[in-house]
Amino acid sequence: MIEVRFHGRGGQGSVVASELLARAAFEEGKDVQAFPMFGVERRGAPVTAFTRIDEKTVRDHSKIHEPDIVIILDTALLDAVDVTEGLKEDGDVIINTGKDPSEMKIDIEKDADVYTVDASDIAIEHGLGSEMAPIVNTAILGAVCKATGMVDIDTLSDVILKHAPAKNEANAKAAEQAHDEIKGPYPGKKLEGREGQLSSQQTDIPKSEDLLCRDPEDHTDLPRTPIADCDSEYLNKTGSWRTVRPIVNKDKCINCGICWKFCPDVAIFVEEEGAVVDFDFCKGCGICAEECPVDAIEMDKEEKYV
Amino acid sequence: MAEFPEKELMNSGHNACPGCGAAHAMRYMLKALGKNTTVNIPACCWAVIPGVYPSRNLEVPLLYTAFETTGASSSGIRAALKKRDDVDDAEVEVVGFAGDGGTADIGIQALSGAIERNTDTIQVMYDNEAYMNTGIQRSGVTPEGAWTTTTPVGSKGDWKKQPKKEMMEIVESHNVPYAATVNIAYPDSFVEKFKKAKEFSGPRFMHIYAPCPTGWRARPSDAVELGRLAHKSRFFPLFEIEHGKYNIYKEPKEDEVIPVKEYLKIQGRFRHLPEEMVEKIQKRVDTKWEQLKKKERFTQEELYE
Ligand SMILES: Cc1ncc(C[n+]2csc(CCOP(=O)(O)OP(=O)(O)O)c2C)c(N)n1
Ligand code: SF4
Ligand code: SF4
Ligand code: SF4
**Which atom, in ligand 3's list, is nearest to the CA of A281?**
5
Strand partners, A299: A246
Same domain? A114 vs A252 = no
- Three-state DSSP state, A294: coil
Same domain, A182 and A249: no
Would the pTM count as exceeding 0.95?
no
Contacts of residue B54 in chain A, CB cutoff 8 Å? 219, 222, 231, 235
B300 near A CB under 8 A: no
A171 and A277 part of one domain: no
Contact A244, A301 (CB under 8 A): yes
Q: Is residue A192 part of a domain?
A: no
Same domain, A141 and A241: no
Picking from B16, B101, B3, the residue whose alpha carbon sits closest to that of residue B58 is: B16
Q: Do both A178 and A254 map to the same domain?
A: no
pLDDT at position A285 is 98
CATH architecture entry for B21-304: 3-Layer(aba) Sandwich (3.40)
Confirm or reject: Cβ of A245 under 6 Å from ligand 3: no
Please give the distance, rounded to the nearest whole angstrom, from the Cα atom of residue A249 to the centre of ligand 2.
9
Q: Do A42 and B18 touch (CB under 8 A)?
A: yes
Of A125, A152, A187, at which residue does a domain stop? A187
Indicate if A42 and A181 belong to the same structural domain.
yes
The C-alpha torsion from A260 through B44 and A40 to A140, rounded to 10°, is -100
DSSP characters for A115-143?
EEE-HHHHHHHTT-B-SSSB--HHHHHHH
A30 in the same domain as A96: yes
C-alpha closest to that of B59 among B80, B81, B31, B79:
B31
Q: Say whether both A11 and A88 belong to one domain.
A: yes
Kindly report the nearest CA distance between residue A285 and chain B, in angstroms: 5
Number of H helices, E strands in chain A: 10, 11
In angstroms, rounded to a whole number, what is the distance separating the alpha carbons of residues A220 and B82?
31
A119 and A7, same structural domain? yes
Q: Residue A291 is part of a domain; what is its CATH number?
A: 3.30.70.20
Note whether A180 and A253 are same-domain residues: no
Task: List chain B residues with CB under 8 Å of A283.
Answer: 17-19
Does A290 lie at the interface with B, CB-CB under 8 angstroms? yes
DSSP strand pairing (A2-9 vs A69-72): parallel
Task: Let me know whether A9 and A107 are in one domain.
Answer: yes
Domain ends where: A117, A152, A187? A187
Minimal Cβ distance to B55: which of A231, A284, A287: A231
Nearest CA among A224, A283, A281, A222 for reference residue B11: A281
Chain B residue closest in CA terms to A229: B59
Cα B179 from Cα B78, distance rounded (Å): 19
Dihedral in degrees, nearest 10, Cα atoms B224, B227, B233, B235? 160
Residue A81 in domain: yes
CA distance linking residue B103 with residue B164, whole number of Å: 13
Domain count, chain A: 2
Provide the 3-class DSSP secondary structure of residue B74: helix
Residue nearest to atom 1 of ligand 3 (CA): A284
Structural domain that includes position A176: 2-187
Cβ–Cβ under 8 Å, residues A291 and A262: yes
Q: Is A292 in the pocket of ligand 2 (CB under 6 A)?
A: yes
Interface predicted TM-score of the whole assembly (ipTM), two decimals: 0.95
One digit per residue, pLDDT tens: chain B, 305 residues? 457 898 889 989 999 999 999 999 999 999 999 989 999 999 999 999 998 777 788 888 889 999 999 999 999 999 999 988 888 888 899 999 999 999 999 999 999 999 999 999 999 999 999 999 999 999 999 999 999 999 999 876 689 999 999 999 999 999 999 999 999 999 999 999 999 999 999 999 999 999 999 999 999 999 999 999 999 999 999 999 999 999 999 999 999 999 999 999 999 999 999 999 999 999 999 999 999 999 999 998 866 55
Q: How far apart are CA A278 and CA A239, in angstroms?
A: 8
